[in-house]
């Protein structure tokens, strides 16, 4: 008969288990338990077999029964392993802790407990148990590696690097140790070493997609998106089911502006992990880059449905709603976020940006002050504060913010340019020469971020201005998607001209352009005004809306949508009237909504943009031989590039001198230019002029009280009685024109001339004395005077300028003759002959379009003055 004693069954069960026959072993252990049901060893081994057969619940019951009979450390270890295998980390930790109470020195129990605690997210509790194992088993590379991971989780990266290095030394073929070492090195900023570790790990485990994922993330983080894409593609090929691999590849492709690749990668991640809010956020980012803004909004909302408290997605959604001009929705999102996270600097910055775009710079300043209070060392927040304060007219606040930015980031281009401009607006000339020299050096060294407008009023060259504009235009075009233009639209034989501007309102540019736009020949030209500025409710705004054939309000359209509207209208020539001035929308031009695009009037210089074909000028503002400094092809109108409004009203009542703070007697020099056009050298000359003309005064515009205070201080430093400086504040335009009658001579500025202010003076009958400059901005007054029939008021050189001013003040009869000629010419001179100007303008458009229709590239054009036929003609100046 067969021996069925418990010991014999147990022995046969052990043999079957050892031979890899778990079913037979189970049967034999059950036989043993029938004879001796309370045998702890048999219960233990049967539990182990049940575990191997995949019956974890049965195994747990057997382990518990065994331990109830005898506290055997080996049972605890197997029981703990069972819990760990079921990912029951809390139970595993409890079991391993119980094992240590029975056998305090058990290395296996310490290691099991360390792994269980670590897996619960308790690296600080796991660390001492890893170290307990290594105290007696320092040769175990795996334990060093896991200790390193725990130290990384605790943010102790230097210690983690040491642990991973030891793991790699002990186990040189362990790719995991090298990969973890790479992660720790990256956290310490040792990126070259990190990359080397990752690449060595890939050499050991070329099919490990996780290591390639980590390398992809590293390369993306250090600004090498092309290399990151190269690393990320094998990762998704090795493990296409991993959403994290697709996300990493998508991030790298996004950084490279591989828009389609980024979208496909993000879409794959969403398909694989539809409940991952980060994947939805990334997909929305990719859709935004593709110009699919409404789909992007849906993507961000999907991310927030999954994770309502997701600041990154909230800020992204607010930003895109702002782009879509849904400001109220964007503001609501950000305010809700800030109610939860009042220390979120990025949210404050985004809130401020939307408020500024909504023409509430005062509220933007308040928001940015909070951002700077939260993060005083955040240079971006300080730079935003400087810009918002400038928009509010708070130049002193802007100056302080700019100086803070420059302390944080010496050489910061935008802050340096803004500081120069704001100090100019305040006439605070202390250290201005040095700041301007720094600004121009940055431009000449190819520095980014300098606004071209800030360069115009410095002692800059045409080359400087082109350099700054080229980089600025490229930045504005970055990420822009060309819009679709219809292949063909019904045509009525007219050339379609679109005018793009934020200044169809009570604004200097609005006053200049309105008459010319109204005067277009509607039988030959279909004219549309595209307004990107807010409706200020002014009579001038109503005049634009009512006086033009079409007026399209694009203020609430994002740049892409606005460009698509223009393209869908089939505009032939789009004329930008804003340039790089406040509230410009250059990205609309970058989307190329029209076959031909023109820079005119709003900005006195090149836009430096390959997407702008022509610049309208005249022989004075752009001299022969200067074409190379303009990215656009130069079109010269015969008289003056600047139009004027024949209906510009002048108040009939002239104020008394006393009402304006002027003396009853004495010569009145004036300059109503903005304060930023004044310079110390110019003021030196004015002081000498006043000294040479006893009893004279200088009447200046000062919208900011600090301007008057600073100029009085500067005057005293030059020996001037402060009473000889008189300051005019802002008043309605018609009354402002009327007060020009109290002045005797307008003194122009350099390097940035009077532009609209010179036209105002000449229209009001006040002669303007100008010194010809070396750039477009410094020659406008010369162009105006020539077109007004007063070329003798154009001089070259400072000495001639001062001598002419003094001579005119001492020659009242000559000055009276100039005034009479100006008033006599006002109805007939080219400067104020708007129909003549518009015919020349239309000839320019027709010449541009004829070249385009013939398949030619844009080239220089000169428009001849209209002859006996009454029609102007065009001549091509070359093929450059």
Q: Does the pLDDT at position 878 exceed 80?
A: no
Confidence label for 86 from pLDDT (cuts 50, 70 and 90):
confident
**Tokens 């940015």 label which residue?**
368
Q: What is the pLDDT of residue 63?
A: 87
Q: Is 527 in a helix, a strand, or coil?
A: strand
Average pLDDT over residues 612-618: 98
Answer for the pair 457, 421: CB distance below 8 angstroms, yes or no.
yes
Rounded CA-CA distance 407/405 in Å is: 5
Q: Is 864 in a helix, a strand, or coil?
A: strand
Average pLDDT over residues 813-835: 94
Residues 6+ apart with CB under 8 A from 696: 666, 667, 668, 669, 689, 690, 724, 809
Rounded CA-CA distance 814/810 in Å is: 9
Confidence label for 877 from pLDDT (cuts 50, 70 and 90):
low
pTM of the model: 0.80
Pairing relationship of beta strands 633-636 and 861-864 according to DSSP bridges: parallel
In terms of phi and psi (left: phi > 0; alpha: psi -120 to 50; beta: otherwise), the region of 855 is: left
Q: Is 698 in a helix, a strand, or coil?
A: strand
Range name among 28-37, 523-532, 803-812 with the lowest pLDDT average:
28-37
Range name among 7-21, 176-190, 389-403, 543-557 with the lowest pLDDT average:
7-21
Answer for the pair 17, 49: CB distance below 8 angstroms, yes or no.
yes
Average pLDDT over residues 227-248: 94
Q: How far is CA 326 from CA 61, 265, 377, in A?
A: 62, 29, 31
Backbone angles phi, psi at 494, to 5 degrees: -95, 150
Average pLDDT over residues 401-426: 96
Q: Is 726 in a helix, a strand, or coil?
A: strand
Average pLDDT over residues 13-26: 89
Rounded CA-CA distance 30/49 in Å is: 11
Q: Does the pLDDT at position 879 exceed 50?
A: no
Backbone angles phi, psi at 139, to 5 degrees: -85, 0
Backbone angles phi, psi at 863, to 5 degrees: -95, 125
Average pLDDT over residues 70-78: 89
Q: How far is CA 300 from CA 310, 560, 561, in A?
A: 10, 19, 19
- Of 41, 92, 81, nearest to 62 by C-alpha is 41
CB neighbours of residue 732 within 10 Å: 11
Q: Does the pLDDT at position 30 exceed 80?
A: yes
Q: How far is CA 476 from CA 471, 584, 610, 698, in A?
A: 9, 10, 12, 41
Rounded CA-CA distance 705/384 in Å is: 24
Q: Is 746 in a helix, a strand, or coil?
A: strand
Q: Does the pLDDT at position 54 exceed 90?
A: no
Average pLDDT over residues 316-339: 93
Which strand ranges, in their side-by-side order, compose the sheet holding 668-671? 725-728, 697-701, 668-671, 745-747, 768-771, 794-795
Answer for the pair 602, 827: CB distance below 8 angstroms, yes or no.
no
- Sign of the C-alpha dihedral computed for residues 414, 419, 421 and 422 taken in this order: positive
Average pLDDT over residues 589-605: 97
Which class for 658: exposed (0-12), middle (13-18), buried (19 or more C-beta within 10 A)?
Answer: exposed
Pairing relationship of beta strands 725-728 and 550-553 according to DSSP bridges: unpaired
Q: Does the pLDDT at position 377 exceed 70?
A: yes
Q: What is the mean pLDDT of the chain?
A: 93
Confidence label for 868 from pLDDT (cuts 50, 70 and 90):
very low
What digits encode the pLDDT tens for the residues 501-516? 999 999 999 999 999 9
Rounded CA-CA distance 321/351 in Å is: 12
What digits encode the pLDDT tens for the residues 106-153? 999 999 999 999 999 999 999 999 999 999 999 999 999 999 999 999
The DSSP secondary structure of 66-102, one letter per residue, reads HHHH---HHHHHHHHHHHHHTT-HHHHHHHHHHHHHH
Pairing relationship of beta strands 668-671 and 633-636 according to DSSP bridges: unpaired
Rounded CA-CA distance 388/410 in Å is: 21
Q: What is the pLDDT of residue 880?
A: 39
What digits encode the pLDDT tens for the residues 647-694? 999 999 999 999 999 999 999 999 999 999 999 999 999 999 999 999
Q: Does the pLDDT at position 874 exceed 80?
A: no
Q: What is the pLDDT of residue 1?
A: 40
Confidence label for 60 from pLDDT (cuts 50, 70 and 90):
confident
Q: What is the pLDDT of residue 854?
A: 95
Rg (CA), the chain: 39
Confidence label for 3 from pLDDT (cuts 50, 70 and 90):
very low
Q: What is the pLDDT of residue 6?
A: 60
Q: What percent of the chain has pLDDT over 70?
A: 98
């Amino acid at each position: 008969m067969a021996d069925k004693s418990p010991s014999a069954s147990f022995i046969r069960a052990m043999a079957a288990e050892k031979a890899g026959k778990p079913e037979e072993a189970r049967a034999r252990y059950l036989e043993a338990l029938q004879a001796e049901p309370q045998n702890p060893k048999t219960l233990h081994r049967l539990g182990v077999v049940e575990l191997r057969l995949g019956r974890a619940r049965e195994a747990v019951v057997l382990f518990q029964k065994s331990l109830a009979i005898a506290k055997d450390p080996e049972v605890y270890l197997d029981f703990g392993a069972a819990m760990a295998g079921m990912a029951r980390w809390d139970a595993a930790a409890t079991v391993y802790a119980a094992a240590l109470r029975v056998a305090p020195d058990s290395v296996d129990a310490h290691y099991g407990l360390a792994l269980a605690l670590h897996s619960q997210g308790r690296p600080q509790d796991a660390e001492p148990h890893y170290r307990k194992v290594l105290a007696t088993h320092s040769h175990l590379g795996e334990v060093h590696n896991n200790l390193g991971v725990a130290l990384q989780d605790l943010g102790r990266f230097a210690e983690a690097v040491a642990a991973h290095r030891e793991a790699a030394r002990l186990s040189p073929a362990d790719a995991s140790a090298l990969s973890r070492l790479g992660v720790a090195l990256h956290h310490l900023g040792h990126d070259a070493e990190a990359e080397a570790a990752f690449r060595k790990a890939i050499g050991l485990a070329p099919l490990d997609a996780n290591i390639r994922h980590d390398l992809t993330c590293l390369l993306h983080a250090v600004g090498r998106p092309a290399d990151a894409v190269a690393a990320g593609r094998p990762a998704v090929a090795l493990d296409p089911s991993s959403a994290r691999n697709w996300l990493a590849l998508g991030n790298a492709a996004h950084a490279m502006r591989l828009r389609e690749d980024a979208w496909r990668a993000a879409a794959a991640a969403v398909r694989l992990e539809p409940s991952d809010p980060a994947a939805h956020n990334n997909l929305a980012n990719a859709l935004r880059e593709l110009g699919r803004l409404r789909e992007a909004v849906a993507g961000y909302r999907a991310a927030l449905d999954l994770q309502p408290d997701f600041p990154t997605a909230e800020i992204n959604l607010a930003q895109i709603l702002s782009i879509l001009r849904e400001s109220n929705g964007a503001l609501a999102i950000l305010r809700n976020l800030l109610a939860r996270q009042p220390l979120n600097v990025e949210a404050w910055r985004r809130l401020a940006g939307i408020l500024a775009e909504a023409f509430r710079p005062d509220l933007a300043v308040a928001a940015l002050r909070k951002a700077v209070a939260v993060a005083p060392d955040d240079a971006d927040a300080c730079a935003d504060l400087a810009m918002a304060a400038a928009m509010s007219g708070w130049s002193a606040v802007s100056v302080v913010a700019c100086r803070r930015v420059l302390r944080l980031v010496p050489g910061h281009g935008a802050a340096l340019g803004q500081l120069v401009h704001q100090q100019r607006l305040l006439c605070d000339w202390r250290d201005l020469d040095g700041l301007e020299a720094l600004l121009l050096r940055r431009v000449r060294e190819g520095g980014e971020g300098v606004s071209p407008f800030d360069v115009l009023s410095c002692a800059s060259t045409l080359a400087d201005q082109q350099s700054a504009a080229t980089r600025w235009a490229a930045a504005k075009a970055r990420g822009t998607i060309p819009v679709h233009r219809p292949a063909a639209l019904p045509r009525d034989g007219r050339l379609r001209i679109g005018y793009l501007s934020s200044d169809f309102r009570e604004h200097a540019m609005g006053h200049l352009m309105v008459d010319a736009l109204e005067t277009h020949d509607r039988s030959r030209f279909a004219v549309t005004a595209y307004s990107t500025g807010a409706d200020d409710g002014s009579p001038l705004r109503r005049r634009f809306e009512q006086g033009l054939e079409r007026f399209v309000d694009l203020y609430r359209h994002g740049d892409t949508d606005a460009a698509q509207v223009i393209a869908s209208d089939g505009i032939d020539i789009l004329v930008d009237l804003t340039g790089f001035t406040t509230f410009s929308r250059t990205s609309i031009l970058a989307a190329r909504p029209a076959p031909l695009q023109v820079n005119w009037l709003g900005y006195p210089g090149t836009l430096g943009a390959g997407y702008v074909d022509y610049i309208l000028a005249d022989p004075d503002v752009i001299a022969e031989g200067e074409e190379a400094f303009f990215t656009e092809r130069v079109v010269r109108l015969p008289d003056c590039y600047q139009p004027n409004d024949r209906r510009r009203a002048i108040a009939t009542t002239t104020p008394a001198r006393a009402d304006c703070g002027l003396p009853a007697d004495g010569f009145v020099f004036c300059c109503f230019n903005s304060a930023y056009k004044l310079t110390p050298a110019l003021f030196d000359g004015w002081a000498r002029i006043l000294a040479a003309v006893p009893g004279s005064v200088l009447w200046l515009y000062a919208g900011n009280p600090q301007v008057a205070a600073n100029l009085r201080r500067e005057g005293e430093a030059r020996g001037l009685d402060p009473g000889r400086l008189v300051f005019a504040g802002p008043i309605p335009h018609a009354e402002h024109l009327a007060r020009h009658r109290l002045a005797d001579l307008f003194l122009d500025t350099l390097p940035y001339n009077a532009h609209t202010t010179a036209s105002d003076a000449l229209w009001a009958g006040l002669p303007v004395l100008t010194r010809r400059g070396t750039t477009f901005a410094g020659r406008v007054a010369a162009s105006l005077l020539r077109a007004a029939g007063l070329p003798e008021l154009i001089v070259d050189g400072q000495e001639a300028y001062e001598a002419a001013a003094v001579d005119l003040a001492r020659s009242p009869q000559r000055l009276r003759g100039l005034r009479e000629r100006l008033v006599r010419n006002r109805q007939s001179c080219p400067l104020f002959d708007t129909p003549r100007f518009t015919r020349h303008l239309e000839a320019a458009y027709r010449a541009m379009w004829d070249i385009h229709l013939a398949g030619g590239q844009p080239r220089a054009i000169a428009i001849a003055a209209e002859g006996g036929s009454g029609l102007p003609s065009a001549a091509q100046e070359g093929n450059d």
